[in-house]
Chain A
């Protein structure tokens, strides 16, 4: 058995090495695949903060993924058509600058997570699952009926957005941006899990009564976790839209929510790099099985059942064993 920390390092090194290899061997498609995996991983790391640490089974995280996507789509759409996003009460212009887009994506998905969280956290258990799912659908249908931004067809962005000092059209550069963000967020996640906040959140999941009796509010802890989680998934959405140079209501679909959750479970719930492993494996399955059979979802479904029944800790659990309590 390998220690989890070693495994995490190994995963990230591999994830970096493959696209570097692809760059030297002129395989841009492999780099795109790796970028896709990195972005999915980021979305799932976001969900993992709510799900793994906070025990919040959110089946509506596509809402934040989609909001991030549309934040990018809308800002870039206005920038490429030279129209303002709005003029009243004050002028907001579109933009092609990634950092600005990220900021907007994070703020808007944070606000959405706050509102959805406040309502959904009034309930628990299975209600929570259904309600988050329903709120996700709300955004889905809203985006479909929002004709100004393409409705069902979505928005096409012609040129990838800019990042100061980098040519983002070069695949490896965009990969580097996404990979750096993933590493930073993983670092943040690691710190969060060990911080007083993480400790309290972790306890709020297992024994909310206890948390109350030490004078901390478990609901508020969960709400903050939900917002942090939504912000990260929203950022991933903005990057995903930039990768595809396209946003559409599918980013809001409930299958998307399900897939983000699958990344986590495949890799290992509440494990730092679980979502990364899960996303990488998913993208590989999608690529190889998808190439093998049009009906690859059948195999994915079967694999998922096997994981649920026989590998509760996901792949990380299989390799690294039961989580060792932090020193």
Chain B
């Protein structure tokens, strides 16, 4: 097995990890600030992807498609927040789970109703497609590199937003003490809507970016949502830094495990058995990782200690 393959797979892992981060960041912010578990976050991802595919189909512009993805997801997010989510802040987690599960049903079936059951395709624009040659002669798809860079940029921007801006200070204050920031005169319901819109836009962006390398279809959001949950559990709820580290860990474990575990098993098993048991174990690898982190730190790597 060559170094080139290993580096390629590491890059793939980084790429899927950083896209997970876009999902997890929104989820963890929403939970940290509002105390809300939002299962419908995957639907916002899907909405972003569909909006991008539709706009790209109409205009042919990838940039416009991305903007549309973020806008559509943010608008959907704001609507949902004002109509449904707002009533859930004071309720228990069970109600939140059910109401947001109900939202998934509505969004998924609604999307199927509008766009049909067949997957849509979102093409990578010419200027981003094709391979590039990395130092060391490694050929790697340019688009995936762009995804990594975009993700890192968003992560950096989010970090700055949280630590350096007025909004960020309010968000952090909201995580610590809700009554306090209300007492300080911050319009809390506006802040909530804003955080929700921000999280939604990030999810929509992720959906559009990933939609271009996978297909755009109903139900695409939920597997990512659950991975994002794993990320948050590993990183610690409410922590952006935890979400980033957790996302990269999960992305790398998932990708590398899928490729290398079967190879590893071939060292001491016959090929077909190694392939099947290796990939079976690989499919469980991130959950094993999660279990291990939990045994070590029940509130995640960067979560608040109780």
Contacts and interface: CB of A to CB of B under 8 A. Distances in A.
B197 to A, nearest CB: 21
Nearest to B228: A130
Interface stretch (A70-78, A87-95, A104-112, A300-308): A300-308
Interface in B88-106: 93-95, 97-99, 101-106
Contacts of A145: 276, 279-280, 282-283
A198 B95 CA distance: 23
A126 interface: yes
Given A265-B98, A309-B87, A131 B93 contact: no
A295 B37 contact: no
A288 interface: no
Contact of B37 (A126, A296, A307): A126
Contacts, number: 116
B98 A137 contact: no
Most chain A beta-carbon contacts within 10 A, residue among B87, B94, B223, B294: B94
A304 B284 contact: no
Secondary structure at the B interface, as helix, strand, loop or mixed, is helix
A129 interface: yes
Contacts of B266: none
A258 interface: yes
Interface in A133-180: 133-135, 137-138, 141-142, 144-148
Interface string B271-297: 000001001101110010011001100
Given A130-B37, A145-B276, A295 B109 contact: yes
B172 interface: no
Interface residues of A, number: 42
A176 to B, nearest CB: 33
B287 A123 contact: no
B123 interface: no
B6 interface: no
B222 interface: yes
Interface string B69-113: 000000000000000100100000111011101111110111011
B222 A57 contact: no
Contacts of B95: 308
Given A119-B295, A126-B93, A144 B283 contact: yes
B294 A59 contact: no
Nearest to A269: B94
B113 A295 contact: yes
A127 interface: yes
Listed from nearest, the 3 A-B pairs whose CB atoms lie closest are: A301-B105, A141-B283, A304-B102
11 contacts: A129-B37, A131-B290, A138-B283, A254-B226, A258-B101, A262-B98, A262-B101, A298-B106, A300-B105, A304-B98, A304-B105
